[in-house]
Structure 1
């Protein structure tokens, strides 16, 4: 097939394959390669030009004096050959189409003569030939060729990577020097398909050939003072079409009207003499994010300090999450080859030149090993075993298979949950194991605290007799009940199972349906137990079980998919935890359709006493909130806490018109959430990043509307009259009220991501009910028992599936890939 003869749709559908035949470096380099439409059909593709392909060459310089090996790019001379440049691929050589699917490319850049060529050029500061590194051509070193195929409407670009040794003309083998410390497969566990620079660069093996220390060429080093680079000014711009706000950063407020990028700024392309674009440093700093010691990093408008790693609980320690030795041959470099470059990228407060500095924990003791001018002695103090130990997280996870010596790891199991038909008492049979051995007494010696049960259920609501959502009817904020495991406790039996009998008053309401029990919460291991030095919470994966005979709540999300990013999710202080092996998410027992923000119920006496600093102060500044005003809490944002709406809104992050904002009041404290600057790491439009296939294309009958604000017959009129108080807001949270502001089920799922006025208006015209009163039948509240469109009541109910259902013109599953 000829590329230029293909239609736009055919080009978009291509999944091409690029196969390198070989590289000859005589003078200049010559590459032979073939292009087909993929391994399945293997049809040759003809007619490719340099508009679709570009070429990069780099050499691997072996490490010396304890330092790791590093890539040095040859792509550091401009296409005219008159000046230097930061590393980039070239297209200005000679490409020959052999008319049979094979091609030959001759580089314009003669790498064997590049060193002398650069030496003969004249540079003006801040450009310097020295910043381009040692460009000596050594045919005995490992070299890397990358062919990038992209452009021309191609939606599936290719990065063909070929490592070879010029002296032999052969591809490298396992016995040759290599550097593969991370595999793109590890990155894509969370990023799904990491695609940068126009979505054409999709493999870290390509990234490292451009993101070298040579990126300092032409840059001026910016110095930090008191652990901070020059202060940044955040500049916000609203897109006139989408309404989405983007943020840019400068040391002043001068901008260019065409691109809105700051001018007069001092980006930290090089900061304190360190090249921020060097791949190990750049990627480590992005993932260390807000935990970095130094402030005001700004690399190409990427403010490292604004980033947050999605693995909670000090997850940046989990080096093996990215450096997985089952996927990359040199992945264990993170512990076997410590260096100032890699380690100092995260531990950025340490100044190795003189040994002073601040640790990630805030200690100002500097580097224990004092000043280090090279990496020669790093491994003497930081042995592989010690590094692994230091980087252990407190919990056992897939990428943290061991915890510190002495720490006990628990597992929970709920064998059965049964409700007595006469007494309505609940009997739960469960087991708690410590390091694989069932406990014989609760609590175990040397531990404080305790796990507990969560009870969730469904009852008739909004005319729906049998809801498919938990609603925990009759409980404030629609929260699950939380009885102690010690209630009516007996056992264990010979198999290690305890039995807890919970009386009816503390169990499920009579007649409740879809009842479920979770074992959640944790023990705290006391200092001295097992030889540990400090009290340590032992967060444990929650277990969920449906009551015998009841319908189990539907499953639309795969915990293993969530764990690709979150690994071991510790919600609410580690009380609610799931991992890749969780069969059900404990989250949905509490985050039900009736749950909404509680922040507006906080009394002045408690709110006025709080002092907000750091991240909370920033959030409140964004909200324009003053906690000293009378009835201040009523100015806090309010939204649903129903799981689907909340998670959609959070993950949509900075791509929403109105960011997901929430304020939660609990025990005289206020939790603030604002996701306006959050980047979703994967493909936000791919629902199956989280969802089980086939579960998200429609909303099942008997789904409940999501409550966005709890309002009752007293609080509502008081809001209108300007006489409302937090106490009124608190009362309204007690139950589902006819005056509550709700969103119908289908619209709730969609408007949580697609929140523009235009999108919401479209949903409303098709029966979506957005922020209506729960009891307003004139707007479609389901007196008939369903929010779904019903032909018997034309004009009422959601008709979304008419166009967006399976097999329809705008099929959700097709559009969200």
Structure 2
């Protein structure tokens, strides 16, 4: 189907052409970009001007004025590029003063507005080059004559042009913006995606009014220069050509300020923020500084975000029941919530969002858990752990920890024999409230661990399970003091949304390592093949999926994730591995539960994929050494369970009715990592004899050593030959087939 082909193209399937020629190292100097690659075409334009053109034969006037823009297309070496059949879209807007709104003390001027000149059905849009006249001037130079008459555009928002008879005035003294977009970021395109803007004042000089709040780099940390929603838009300065306040209605063409806040806070369908359907924002939406950076010469108005408007605020706050909705309807938000308002200093947007969040994070950081020692008892098969717990430097009792920790806090016990964590899940978890001791010092003992016996050189690894804390919401943010830890309500979410505190993930996550005799092991590195700092480009503060609901984790470290999500952990869902190397790749490429692979339409599939860049951008998460083949980290075969909805339907004790008879099988490591994207079916559901559409590569994988469904881990080790063709530097190396050079 078309939607599956689009997903697979984005993942860049392995090539079958001949191997060889590799030197086992990345070719760090990429070849000159080929047509269609990013950077292969350079677009530049001159400020548009009005030119006289001959009127059609028989017209009353002898000539008329048309707006014209001269532009050039060159390749990376400066050679001319032919437009060919490429359709180019042009837009022109101008900046006008904001509309007057009613504030609590009288009329107030709103923020400046981009007024569009080009409309379709009263909605701002682009004019396609097929509508006007595109003239080839030679040597890569072109001129485009717009079709519309810019001096006779009927304003669909007539009150903006009441002083000009309802016609949008062409004002030579105001700032205008030319926006151009064409090409595609899709694989196989002969013209790369181009987004271009040029701001100019037709009369020359400097504009008295500007509106440069955000630049593309603010979006690119997450979106990685890829199109955002539309297939040809990746620059917010281009987006505002359509998404601006010149539209008479915000239905379907809302301003970018509203659209971005709405999508990043409550999701496309405007559901509760904890669900965020279609618009998962992988961090707390109060991290305003993720998008809003300090002012620069190219964004002189960047600090304007601290002067809120009702329309923008309601994008987040008016879509669910809250005091914000009840108290602020119809008011000018700036009266109380603008930064620097002396009468309402604590209510400034920076304080109630960013500073309050930082206060809660600082409050959560006042809890500290230290793991002092751990010892494995060969006879009893138990691990004994000693730890101390303090709050703001003072010892606290276990009851206090139980009160402030949402969900029972616990310790996760595991060990590593050189290839990653051994135990499959939380069978070795210790609920802290069952530990003994007092005055901040406690001793915890696991139940007998029967799943495995550690080798003599194994390293014990102890960490705290994902822990959410109940923290005061209205922190004293102005003087920098941290919020306080509060006792969690007995009825959980039913109360917490109404009171002045909320859940936040504990940031001080202890991770300790010991040999089996209880001696500390220094320098231990958890075996995960990804850089946490790169994950934090999108997941600020390493927030993965914690939104304060009963189903979200509050993990802050890969040690926490890996104690459950390791090679010995089967997923809750049929045919899937719970291992991080499958779990993370699969989620970023296919969405939750691989929903995109089974979507009914291409649009539905795209909506289910939460990765904001391209999934073949390996270096958005990995260093070069980490994505090379053979697997550099997490090298063990992974368990896959054949049980449908394991642990969900017919659950007994959270494990499942069939826990003792589940048909676990083992899959080889490169297959697990690569098959998470390159096979449509879940690993355990791949039919090798008659593969369904999308599983065609299963045969190629098996022919080159991939092991599907071995009975033991040992039977799935050491036979994969993927690196003979796909190691970095090979003709079909992962660096080449994933085109990592395009993203550098």
TM-score category of the 2 structures, normalised to the smaller one? 0.5 to 0.7
- Unaligned segments of structure 2, at least 5 residues: 1-31, 52-64, 101-108, 340-344, 475-482, 487-498, 515-519, 599-604, 681-694
User: How far apart, in 1, do the equivalents of 2:651 and 2:506 lie?
Assistant: 39
User: How far apart, in 1, do the equivalents of 2:559 and 2:632 lie?
Assistant: 19
Q: Which residue of 1 aligns with 2:722?
A: 800
Q: Which residue of 1 aligns with 2:429?
A: 481
Retained in 2: the 8 A contact 1:456–1:515?
A: yes
> Pairwise CA RMSD of aligned residues?
4.9
Task: String of CA shifts for 1:650-684, please: whole Å, max 9, x gaps.
Answer: 222359976699xxxxxxxxxxxx99934432212
Spell out the pairing of 1:442-521 with structure 2 (5 A cutoff).
Answer: 448-449=403-404, 452-458=410-416, 466=417, 468-472=419-423, 477=425, 479-482=427-430, 484=432, 509=454, 511=456, 513-520=458-465, 521=467
Task: String of CA shifts for 1:709-749, please: whole Å, max 9, x gaps.
Answer: 278xxxx9xxxxxxx99699758647xx8952232222111
User: How far apart, in 2, do the equivalents of 1:209 and 1:290 lie?
Assistant: 22
Task: String of CA shifts for 1:160-210, please: whole Å, max 9, x gaps.
Answer: 211121122x465xxx42223332222222222231587433211011112
User: How far apart, in 2, do the equivalents of 1:194 and 1:67 lie?
Assistant: 32
Q: Which residue of 1 aligns with 2:119?
A: 76
User: How far apart, in 2, do the equivalents of 1:11 and 1:292 lie?
Assistant: 34
Q: Which residue of 2 aligns with 1:410?
A: 366
Task: String of CA shifts for 1:96-136, please: whole Å, max 9, x gaps.
Answer: 6565665554444442x233xx49xxxxxxx9989998521
Retained in 1: the 8 A contact 2:132–2:146?
A: yes
Q: Which residue of 2 aligns with 1:158?
A: 194
User: How far apart, in 2, do the equivalents of 1:200 and 1:291 lie?
Assistant: 19
Q: CA deviation at 1:647?
A: 1.9
Q: CA deviation at 1:12?
A: 3.5
SS of the residue corresponding to residue 577 of structure 2 reads: coil
- Find out whether 1:135 has 2:168 as its counterpart: yes
User: How far apart, in 2, do the equivalents of 1:727 and 1:500 lie?
Assistant: 27
Q: Which residue of 1 aligns with 2:23?
A: none
Q: Which residue of 2 aligns with 1:361?
A: 321
SS of the residue corresponding to residue 311 of structure 1 reads: coil
Q: CA deviation at 1:379?
A: 1.9
User: How far apart, in 2, do the equivalents of 1:546 and 1:141 lie?
Assistant: 65
User: How far apart, in 2, do the equivalents of 1:447 and 1:729 lie?
Assistant: 24
Q: CA deviation at 1:815?
A: 2.2
Task: String of CA shifts for 1:572-594, please: whole Å, max 9, x gaps.
Answer: 76996456xx6x45211221222
- Find out whether 1:594 has 2:571 as its counterpart: no
**Structure 1 residues 53 and 428, CA gap change in structure 2 (3 angstroms):** farther
User: How far apart, in 2, do the equivalents of 1:392 and 1:728 lie?
Assistant: 37
Retained in 2: the 8 A contact 1:36–1:101?
A: yes
1:682 to 591, 597, 613: 613
User: How far apart, in 1, do the equivalents of 2:376 and 2:401 lie?
Assistant: 35
Q: CA deviation at 1:457?
A: 1.0
**Structure 1 residues 730 and 543, CA gap change in structure 2 (3 angstroms):** same
SS of the residue corresponding to residue 695 of structure 1 reads: helix
User: How far apart, in 1, do the equivalents of 2:38 and 2:181 lie?
Assistant: 18
Q: Which residue of 1 aligns with 2:530?
A: 557
- Find out whether 1:286 has 2:237 as its counterpart: no
**Structure 1 residues 160 and 207, CA gap change in structure 2 (3 angstroms):** same
Spell out the pairing of 1:132-211 with structure 2 (5 A cutoff).
Answer: 135-148=168-181, 150=183, 153-154=189-190, 156-168=192-204, 170=205, 176-195=208-227, 199-211=231-243
Q: Which residue of 2 aligns with 1:309?
A: 280
Q: How many residues align?
A: 604
Q: CA deviation at 1:553?
A: 2.7
Q: CA deviation at 1:813?
A: 2.7
Retained in 2: the 8 A contact 1:558–1:691?
A: yes
- Find out whether 1:380 has 2:335 as its counterpart: yes
SS of the residue corresponding to residue 537 of structure 2 reads: helix
1:323 to 268, 282, 292: 292
Q: Which residue of 1 aligns with 2:705?
A: 767
User: How far apart, in 2, do the equivalents of 1:184 and 1:733 lie?
Assistant: 50
User: How far apart, in 2, do the equivalents of 1:128 and 1:401 lie?
Assistant: 41
User: How far apart, in 1, do the equivalents of 2:717 and 2:301 lie?
Assistant: 56
User: How far apart, in 1, do the equivalents of 2:580 and 2:436 lie?
Assistant: 32
Q: Which residue of 1 aligns with 2:636?
A: 704
Q: CA deviation at 1:141?
A: 1.4
**Structure 1 residues 309 and 410, CA gap change in structure 2 (3 angstroms):** farther
User: How far apart, in 2, do the equivalents of 1:18 and 1:676 lie?
Assistant: 31
SS of the residue corresponding to residue 138 of structure 1 reads: coil
Greater Cα offset, 524-533 or 547-556:
524-533
**Greater RCO, CA 8 A, separation 6+:** 2
Q: CA deviation at 1:504?
A: 8.7
User: How far apart, in 2, do the equivalents of 1:728 and 1:392 lie?
Assistant: 37
Q: CA deviation at 1:702?
A: 8.3
**Structure 1 residues 9 and 692, CA gap change in structure 2 (3 angstroms):** closer
Q: What TM-score, normalized by structure 2, do the two folds share?
A: 0.67
Retained in 2: the 8 A contact 1:292–1:346?
A: no
Q: Which residue of 2 aligns with 1:744?
A: 668
**Structure 1 residues 149 and 488, CA gap change in structure 2 (3 angstroms):** same
User: How far apart, in 2, do the equivalents of 1:774 and 1:18 lie?
Assistant: 57
User: How far apart, in 1, do the equivalents of 2:418 and 2:271 lie?
Assistant: 51
Greater Cα offset, 652-661 or 100-109:
652-661
Q: Which residue of 2 aligns with 1:336?
A: 307
SS of the residue corresponding to residue 650 of structure 1 reads: helix
Q: What TM-score, normalized by structure 1, do the two folds share?
A: 0.62
SS of the residue corresponding to residue 511 of structure 2 reads: strand
**Structure 1 residues 415 and 813, CA gap change in structure 2 (3 angstroms):** farther
User: How far apart, in 2, do the equivalents of 1:729 and 1:378 lie?
Assistant: 50
SS of the residue corresponding to residue 555 of structure 1 reads: coil
User: How far apart, in 2, do the equivalents of 1:485 and 1:813 lie?
Assistant: 49
**Structure 1 residues 326 and 744, CA gap change in structure 2 (3 angstroms):** farther
SS of the residue corresponding to residue 748 of structure 1 reads: helix
User: How far apart, in 2, do the equivalents of 1:311 and 1:18 lie?
Assistant: 33
**Structure 1 residues 710 and 370, CA gap change in structure 2 (3 angstroms):** closer
User: How far apart, in 2, do the equivalents of 1:148 and 1:761 lie?
Assistant: 41
SS of the residue corresponding to residue 28 of structure 1 reads: strand
- Find out whether 1:788 has 2:710 as its counterpart: no
User: How far apart, in 1, do the equivalents of 2:227 and 2:286 lie?
Assistant: 25
SS of the residue corresponding to residue 762 of structure 1 reads: helix
User: How far apart, in 1, do the equivalents of 2:472 and 2:560 lie?
Assistant: 27
User: How far apart, in 1, do the equivalents of 2:615 and 2:227 lie?
Assistant: 13
Task: String of CA shifts for 1:385-427, please: whole Å, max 9, x gaps.
Answer: 525267537x98xxx54449x9554365868767599999767
Q: Which residue of 2 aligns with 1:539?
A: 505
